[in-house]
Chains A and B, each alone.
Chain A
Amino acid sequence: MDYGVLAGRLFPEIIMIATALIVLAADLSLWRRFPARWRRTVAAFTTSMGCLMACAALGGELEIGVFYKGMWIFDPKIGLLKEVLVGLIAGTVWINRESSFTRHVGEFAALTILAGVGGMILVSTENLLLAFVGLELLSLSLYVMTAFAKSELASVEAGVKYFLFGGVSAACLLYGLSLLYGVTGATQLTAMATALAGKAGDPLVFLAVVLVSVGLGFKVAVAPFHLWAPDTYQGAPTPAAAFVASASKVASFFLLAKISLLGWKEVSGGGGWRAFAPGWSPVWCVMAAASVVVGNIAALVQTRLKRLLAYSAIAHTGYMVTGLLANNPSGEQALVYYVITYAVASLGAFAVIAVVERAHGTDDIAVFSGLGRRAPYLAACLGLFLLSFAGIPPLAGFFGKIYLFIAALGAPGSKLSLLWLVLLGAGMSCVALYYYLVVLKRMFVFKPEGRLVEIEVHWMTRAVLGICALIILMLGLFPAWLFDKLTAR
């Protein structure tokens, strides 16, 4: 193996890791004496430089193909996903400019970058061992980021909960993977698929599928493995929560799609109404239905916006899994399209929450009263993101949801077999509209309540919000652009 070639293939990741180390070292040594505000700005700029370079490398002449027996792969779609991840890293570090939960600016930025690198490794491999390493790099960084506001009890509690749940689920995942290895003798997904042919009825395979599903179900927060999500979103520092809701979702969903569509091709089973067949489909069918119901119903009674977004994220997970269940390339494209637009909107929504939370000291929905008059820009952006979540045209979420449903109903071989799930999803989206409208009503219809708090928005947050809003609007008006990139071979 030629290490020069390897370094060339991993060049974007290497740039990112170098950036993480530079930010960490510089913040610990050179910038130590300066005020925290200044350090946050400089850290954000340094990180963005690294991100820009990584994007340039990704857009450059990276070799396309499958290398080292599937240990490393690269194609335009993976390149796009990595660009999205890099963009989300930059966005998270930029919105961190607003927060004041820590003095350890460099560590937080470095952890964000490392978590992102974990995600980048995750999307770029077809080997389960490397995927697990990437997943753990992502997860461990996230645990620390969640607990980063050391002086706040909620943050520490969230970190511990997230860690304990995550540890158990990682154990499940690893146990499942080891069983799969035992049955097939392969850690590489295509080899595993060949070895699994005709073993759909094998109880050991089924146990492995269930265990891996539990592990991945935790990562993407699908019901009934969603319990960590509300507490984590609520307690984590807002930039950390934004990263959990965006970048971590993108990477985990891509891994899930790859394992189930590629590795478990032969043990897919079926999730049609009254036509369940053993395999991964029925398992995920039940979880998708449960997520859509639990997430949407539980979101109805929330009074904190971050918690509400956590439950709505669970519901969105249900929608995305619906696309996965289509079990065909268009389902995967729909899933990736949806998760990308969802991540961008989430980042933006959390950025607004970060600002409001800093001004008011809480993310209670009541403090958003009259935001439309007090801070029109913030309110307009948050409104746009929430409406995209709700699937209102002409925003990206509208097309994303329809595309998922088209893929799910058009699953080849068994046309309309997933109709029950689509009907359930479409019906529950009315429930979702209700709680989004409640927030919108707070912002635009209600008059400001109580003490009037001046809300200042730093231009860096404004920039992130503007870019996210523009992406959501443009991908809604011209979805064909992203669609083209996802279908490109």
Chain B
Amino acid sequence: MLVWTLYICLLGGALQWLLPSDDPRPSRVTALFTALAALVCALGGSAQWASGGQLGPVDLAKASWIPQLGIQYHLAVDGISLTLIVLTGLAAVAGVLFSWNVRERTRHFFGLYFLLLAGCFGVFLSFDLFLLFAFYELAILPKYFLIAMWGSKNRDYASMKLALYSFAGSAMVLVGIIAAHVVSGGQTFDLAELAKFSFPETFQYWAFPLVFVGFAILAGLWPFHTWAPTGHSAAPTAASMLLAGVVMKLGAYGALRVAITLFPAGALAWRDALGALAVVGIVYGAVVALTQRDFKFVIGYSSVSHMGFVLLGLASLTTIGLSGAVLQMFSHGIIGGLLFAVVGRMVYDRTHTRDLDELSRLDLARVWPFAAGAFVLAALASMGVPGFSGFVPELKVLVGAWQVFPTFAVLSGIGILVGVAYTLRVVQRAFFAVATGEATADPKATALLLDDSEDSAISVPERFGAALLIGATLFVGLQPRCLLDWIVPAFQSPLFEGLRKAGGLQ
């Protein structure tokens, strides 16, 4: 059932090209049903998997593809990938709901949207490195066109930067993967097979950083993060939701699934350096977010900061840190998506400004109380308030980091504090500036917003989309067990035997 997430997205994307070009409505409805079908497959498949109770990866499809090089069409799933598949399914539905106002070339928009989703599902499902890499690169192009065609300010620069950063990262990954294939004897690209092979330490010492950094570029690793804020800001709402929500996770997932799994000794050797970069990312992202005037840039840098926790968890190489990192991927996927939805769709698409000073005069809390409410909830989740999904994973990552590098754990605590500061600042400036007397209302501009005919009120699809994401973050916040029961056992599987032997996963 899980494999159908991938096929449904491919079919749904292809179907869009057959729809009429002048009327956006059939495209929207088709897109919604496609996304819902993918989500149902993801949830149904995970229920099926959970009842099976296996630790290790479960094969979903295995067929010979290019036998001469030992390349297989091998799809499989374990607790880690399952978590991210469910996340992708949720983000897919929410993204469609928040793209209801795309009127220009709607069918092409959704066609590319589902191609991007297919790439994401494909990466999470692949257990053959060649296949994984193919899906990883497949995702680059739709990202580029979604931003270049439907993006806002600065889209030319942002889309090209995003595409080139992604491609540079994947070029590094490619060399690393091929080198691993060759060094292991040139017989296979299968992840499970390669994980059994113990690569020479001298080889791991350079292959690990190559592959890890290659993937982590997409996860917003400092100092290769600069594509993220510009890309997120220029992207149309649904694309920035997917970028922050799912695509950045592709990078983190690849770093865990490929780099750490295959090159454990290299990972241990580089642990401190990567931890340091992650902490710099956390603090730097937060501090920069504090000083931004552009609403979307604040959220963009907050993504860098939050993804820093994922990378810190990965760098710690402890069970608790790694499982915290995976949970944080899920949590940030939901919260980041919600934040971008409010900023991009609810606010920017209607006010046509992202400048916080201008927004502060619009009295948005009174104009759209729903947007303000949704944003406050998202902000609380983002700050890591208990009860929301952000709390448990960041705590786990900090505990994991504390076991290995206490200094970094303390430093990233500073990042959390600054995180609270910029989140509250942006909530106050964007929505409650007039209410708190910080700014004087501009009644003319406010009236203009309410006047603006059909699209002035928060629409039903937006309400559903926001409710879906808020529901997800609350559910995981209150019941983190349900995901952790998938994630933690996954680290006991034979895939991580090498890491355990090398001294990780204490």
**Do A437 and B134 touch (CB < 8 A)?**
no
Q: Decide if B124 is an interface residue (CB 8 Å cutoff).
A: no
Q: Decide if B69 is an interface residue (CB 8 Å cutoff).
A: yes
Shortest CB–CB separation between residue B150 and chain A, in angstroms? 10
List 8 contacting pairs A-B, 8 Å CB cutoff, sorted by A. A392-B140, A399-B66, A405-B178, A416-B183, A426-B172, A426-B175, A430-B167, A437-B144
**Do B67 and A433 touch (CB < 8 A)?**
no
Q: How large is the interface on B (under 10, 10 to 19, 20 to 34, 35 or more residues)?
A: 20 to 34
Shortest CB–CB separation between residue B244 and chain A, in angstroms? 22
Q: How far is the CA of A398 from the CA of B156 in the complex (A)?
A: 25
Q: Select A433's contact among B66, B164, B179, beta carbons within 8 Å.
A: B164
Q: Select A422's contact among B141, B144, B175, beta carbons within 8 Å.
A: B175
**Do A393 and B182 touch (CB < 8 A)?**
no
C-beta contact mask, A430-443 vs B, less than 8 Å → 1, else 0?
10011001000100
C-beta contact mask, A390-403 vs B, less than 8 Å → 1, else 0?
00111000110011
Q: How far is the CA of A398 from the CA of B175 in the complex (A)?
A: 14
Query: Which residues in A have their C-beta under 8 angstroms from that of B297?
Result: none
Q: Decide if B145 is an interface residue (CB 8 Å cutoff).
A: yes
Most buried by B among A416, A426, A479: A426
Q: Decide if A406 is an interface residue (CB 8 Å cutoff).
A: yes
The A-contacting residues of B in range 183-207, CB under 8 angstroms, are: 183, 186
**Do A409 and B178 touch (CB < 8 A)?**
yes
Contacts A416-B182, A480-B67 given; does A405 touch B149 at CB 8 Å: no
C-beta contact mask, B72-84 vs A, less than 8 Å → 1, else 0?
0000000000000
Shortest CB–CB separation between residue B174 and chain A, in angstroms? 6
Smallest CB-CB A-B distances: 9 pairs: A426-B171, A393-B134, A410-B182, A409-B182, A430-B168, A480-B66, A445-B148, A433-B167, A430-B167
Q: How far is the CA of A254 from the CA of B67 in the complex (A)?
A: 25
Most buried by A among B148, B178, B181: B178
Q: Decide if A59 is an interface residue (CB 8 Å cutoff).
A: no
Q: Select B186's contact among A402, A403, A410, beta carbons within 8 Å.
A: A410
Q: Decide if A165 is an interface residue (CB 8 Å cutoff).
A: no
The A-contacting residues of B in range 136-162, CB under 8 angstroms, are: 137-138, 140-141, 144-145, 148-149, 156, 160
A interface residues with partner B (beta carbon < 8 Å): 387, 392-394, 398-399, 402-403, 405-406, 409-410, 415-416, 419, 422-423, 426-427, 429-430, 433-434, 437, 441, 444-445, 479-480, 483-484, 487
The main secondary structure of chain A at its interface with chain B is: helix
The A-contacting residues of B in range 37-69, CB under 8 angstroms, are: 65-69
**Do A445 and B145 touch (CB < 8 A)?**
yes
Q: Which residue of A lies closest to B151 (CB)?
A: A445
Query: Which residues in B have their C-beta under 8 angstroms from that of A422?
Result: 175, 178
Q: Select A409's contact among B134, B138, B179, beta carbons within 8 Å.
A: B179
**Do B179 and A416 touch (CB < 8 A)?**
yes
Q: How far is the CA of A409 from the CA of B168 in the complex (A)?
A: 19
**Do B164 and A434 touch (CB < 8 A)?**
yes
Q: Which residue of B lies closest to A426 (CB)?
A: B171
Q: How far is the CA of A44 from the CA of B278 in the complex (A)?
A: 63
Q: Which residue of B lies closest to A373 (CB)?
A: B105
Q: How far is the CA of A406 from the CA of B188 in the complex (A)?
A: 12
**Do B175 and A423 touch (CB < 8 A)?**
yes
**Do B134 and A419 touch (CB < 8 A)?**
no
Given contacts A392-B140, A403-B69, A429-B167, 8 further A-B contacts (CB under 8 A): A393-B138, A415-B182, A422-B175, A429-B171, A430-B167, A437-B163, A444-B149, A483-B68
Q: Select B141's contact among A392, A399, A402, A429, beta carbons within 8 Å.
A: A392
**Do B175 and A480 touch (CB < 8 A)?**
no
**Do A437 and B182 touch (CB < 8 A)?**
no
Query: Which residues in B have their C-beta under 8 angstroms from that of A430?
Result: 164, 167-168, 171
Q: Decide if B121 is an interface residue (CB 8 Å cutoff).
A: no
Query: Which residues in A have their C-beta under 8 angstroms from that of B66?
Result: 399, 479-480, 483
**Do A415 and B168 touch (CB < 8 A)?**
no
Q: Select B68's contact among A409, A444, A445, A480, beta carbons within 8 Å.
A: A480
Q: How far is the CA of A413 from the CA of B221 in the complex (A)?
A: 37
Shortest CB–CB separation between residue B134 and chain A, in angstroms? 4
Q: Decide if B130 is an interface residue (CB 8 Å cutoff).
A: yes
Query: Which residues in A have their C-beta under 8 angstroms from that of B135?
Result: 393
Q: How far is the CA of A277 from the CA of B140 in the complex (A)?
A: 40
Shortest CB–CB separation between residue B199 and chain A, in angstroms? 12
Query: Which residues in B have their C-beta under 8 angstroms from that of A444?
Result: 145, 149
Q: How far is the CA of A402 from the CA of B65 in the complex (A)?
A: 15
Query: Which residues in B have their C-beta under 8 angstroms from that of A409?
Result: 178-179, 182
**Do A398 and B134 touch (CB < 8 A)?**
yes
Q: How far is the CA of A387 from the CA of B144 in the complex (A)?
A: 13
Q: How far is the CA of A56 from the CA of B264 in the complex (A)?
A: 55
**Do A406 and B137 touch (CB < 8 A)?**
no
Most buried by B among A402, A419, A429, A479: A402
Q: Which residue of B lies closest to A410 (CB)?
A: B182
Q: How far is the CA of A387 from the CA of B163 in the complex (A)?
A: 13
**Do A398 and B174 touch (CB < 8 A)?**
no
Q: Select B174's contact among A415, A426, A445, A479, beta carbons within 8 Å.
A: A426
C-beta contact mask, B419-434 vs A, less than 8 Å → 1, else 0?
0000000000000000
Shortest CB–CB separation between residue B335 and chain A, in angstroms? 31
Q: Select A406's contact among B69, B149, B164, beta carbons within 8 Å.
A: B69
Query: Which residues in A have their C-beta under 8 angstroms from that of B186?
Result: 406, 410
Q: How far is the CA of A430 from the CA of B130 in the complex (A)?
A: 19
Query: Which residues in A have their C-beta under 8 angstroms from that of B171?
Result: 426-427, 429-430
Q: Which residue of B lies closest to A445 (CB)?
A: B148
Q: How far is the CA of A394 from the CA of B134 in the complex (A)?
A: 7
Contacts A405-B175, A429-B167 given; does A415 touch B140 at CB 8 Å: no
Q: Select B137's contact among A398, A403, A423, A479, beta carbons within 8 Å.
A: A398
Query: Which residues in A have their C-beta under 8 angstroms from that of B144?
Result: 437
Query: Which residues in A have their C-beta under 8 angstroms from that of B178?
Result: 402, 405-406, 409, 422
C-beta contact mask, B346-363 vs A, less than 8 Å → 1, else 0?
000000000000000000
Query: Which residues in A have their C-beta under 8 angstroms from that of B175?
Result: 405, 419, 422-423, 426
Query: Which residues in A have their C-beta under 8 angstroms from that of B182?
Result: 406, 409-410, 415-416
Query: Which residues in B have their C-beta under 8 angstroms from that of A392?
Result: 137-138, 140-141
Shortest CB–CB separation between residue A418 and chain B, in angstroms? 11
Shortest CB–CB separation between residue B218 and chain A, in angstroms? 14
Shortest CB–CB separation between residue B503 and chain A, in angstroms? 26
Shortest CB–CB separation between residue B1 and chain A, in angstroms? 24
Q: How far is the CA of A483 from the CA of B66 in the complex (A)?
A: 8
Q: How far is the CA of A445 from the CA of B145 in the complex (A)?
A: 8
Shortest CB–CB separation between residue B111 and chain A, in angstroms? 12
Q: Which residue of A lies closest to B119 (CB)?
A: A393
**Do B148 and A487 touch (CB < 8 A)?**
no
Q: How far is the CA of A426 from the CA of B134 in the complex (A)?
A: 15
Q: How far is the CA of A487 from the CA of B130 in the complex (A)?
A: 21
Q: How far is the CA of A405 from the CA of B130 in the complex (A)?
A: 13
Q: How far is the CA of A434 from the CA of B67 in the complex (A)?
A: 33
Query: Which residues in B have their C-beta under 8 angstroms from that of A406?
Result: 69, 178, 181-182, 186
Q: How far is the CA of A398 from the CA of B137 in the complex (A)?
A: 10
Query: Which residues in A have their C-beta under 8 angstroms from that of B145?
Result: 444-445
Shortest CB–CB separation between residue A369 and chain B, in angstroms? 14
Q: How far is the CA of A429 from the CA of B174 in the complex (A)?
A: 12
Query: Which residues in A have their C-beta under 8 angstroms from that of B68?
Result: 480, 483-484, 487
Shortest CB–CB separation between residue A142 and chain B, in angstroms? 34
Q: How far is the CA of A405 from the CA of B176 in the complex (A)?
A: 11
Q: Select A393's contact among B137, B160, B168, beta carbons within 8 Å.
A: B137
